[in-house]
């Protein structure tokens, strides 16, 4: 496998180079052993989250009981992903506020929603997104 | 689309037994809608709940909470002039699954999960999803909704 010089950009992060030299052999080694497995792992996790989230929404669309909504197997699987699921949940919450609050409380053991905000989906979502930003997720 | 879904989820809901009355909305749920609220979700512990000490999801707990709003159990689901009625649906374990509110026409209105509001027959929503009608509650129409 050969990489052109300009493909070095692949390993730049936030404007800073992860490596500041171009050693073809070391680059390929890093790519094969670290970057690609990390990328695959992250992609697989996102795909799994997305699959579970879609299934959860479909299976609970008509449910009224919050317990039924939260005990759905796909939702529980997302909770089982632990903190790795948080960035995906916050993205969803920002895109379209929904019943992610139970999962967030279960994963983080916190609840930044004030009593007077309870039930207002938009306010609950904003409280969690503020929390996410404070904790470095945003 | 929604009609075919409804038929699958609620097999007792005949095609002529209901009418969709609103677009899909996530801002409120069936319990809030039964209480006449359409901008907030009601559910013990996680969302707004008029009596925070009542954390159970049993039918009895919901009856106690709605008693604070002026409702008391009654035996008939027939429309009575001067009264508002709500119905509690529950599963075989006595867990509350859904609530509906009676309209002046005598038919019932429900918010279905995060989906639409429909007008429907009381029995139309019984079955696997919401269980059976466990209680009918009523209150005089002039009771102030002090706790909402």
> Which residues on B lie below 8 Å from A121 (Cβ)?
26-27, 41
Least confident interval from A122-126, B1-5, B67-71: B1-5
Please report which helix (H) or strand (E) contains residue B117, including its range: strand B117-120
Give the model confidence (pLDDT) of A10-35 as tens digits.
555 555 555 555 667 777 777 777 77
Q: What is the pTM of this model?
A: 0.83
Assess whether pLDDT exceeds 50 at residue A3: no
Q: CB-CB: which of A60, A62, A101 is closest to B46? A: A101
Q: CB-CB: which of B42, B98, B114 is closest to A119? A: B42
| Secondary structure letter of residue A82 according to DSSP | G
Please report which helix (H) or strand (E) contains residue B134, including its range: strand B132-140
Give the model confidence (pLDDT) of A37-88 as tens digits.
777 777 888 999 999 999 999 999 999 899 999 999 999 999 999 999 999 9
**Domain residue ranges in chain B:** 2-140
Give the model confidence (pLDDT) of B80-92 as tens digits.
999 999 999 999 9
CB pairs under 8 A between A and B: 65
How many domains does chain A contain in total? 1
Nearest Cα to A119, choosing from B87, B62, B148, B108?
B148
Nearest Cα to A53, choosing from A21, A85, A25?
A85
- The C-alpha atoms of residue B10 and residue B57 are separated, in whole angstroms, by 22
Whether residue A117 is contained in a domain is answered as yes
- The C-alpha atoms of residue A123 and residue B66 are separated, in whole angstroms, by 25
Q: Which domain range does residue A40 map to?
A: 34-134
Residue contact B46–A65, C-beta within 8 A: no
Assess whether pLDDT exceeds 50 at residue B74: yes
- The C-alpha atoms of residue B31 and residue B98 are separated, in whole angstroms, by 7
Tokens of A23: 């050693």
Residue contact A61–B42, C-beta within 8 A: no
């Amino acid at each position: 496998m050969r990489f052109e010089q300009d493909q070095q950009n692949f390993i730049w992060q936030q404007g800073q180079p992860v490596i500041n030299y171009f050693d073809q052999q070391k680059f390929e080694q890093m790519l094969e052993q670290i970057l690609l497995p990390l990328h695959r792992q992250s992609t697989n996790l996102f795909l799994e989250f997305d699959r579970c989230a879609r299934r959860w929404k479909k299976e609970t669309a008509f449910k009224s009981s919050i317990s039924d909504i939260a005990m759905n197997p796909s939702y529980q699987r997302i909770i089982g992903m632990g903190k790795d699921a948080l960035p995906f949940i916050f993205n969803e919450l920002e895109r379209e506020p929904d019943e992610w609050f139970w999962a967030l409380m279960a994963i983080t053991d916190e609840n930044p929603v004030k009593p007077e905000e309870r039930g207002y989906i938009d306010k609950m979502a904003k409280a969690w997104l503020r929390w996410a930003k404070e904790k470095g997720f945003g | 689309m929604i009609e075919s879904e409804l038929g699958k989820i609620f097999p007792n809901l005949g095609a002529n037994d209901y009418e969709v009355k609103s677009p899909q909305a996530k801002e409120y749920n069936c319990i809030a809608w039964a209480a006449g609220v359409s901008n907030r979700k009601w559910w013990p512990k996680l969302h707004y709940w008029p009596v925070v000490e009542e954390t159970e999801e049993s039918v009895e707990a919901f009856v106690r909470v709605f008693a604070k709003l002026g409702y008391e159990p009654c035996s008939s689901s027939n429309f009575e002039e001067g009264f508002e009625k709500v119905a509690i649906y529950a599963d075989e374990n006595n867990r509350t699954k859904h609530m509906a509110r009676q309209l002046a026409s005598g038919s019932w209105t429900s918010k279905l999960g995060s989906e639409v509001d429909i007008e429907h027959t009381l029995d139309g929503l019984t079955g696997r999803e919401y269980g059976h009608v466990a209680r009918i509650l009523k209150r005089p129409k002039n009771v102030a909704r002090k706790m909402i």
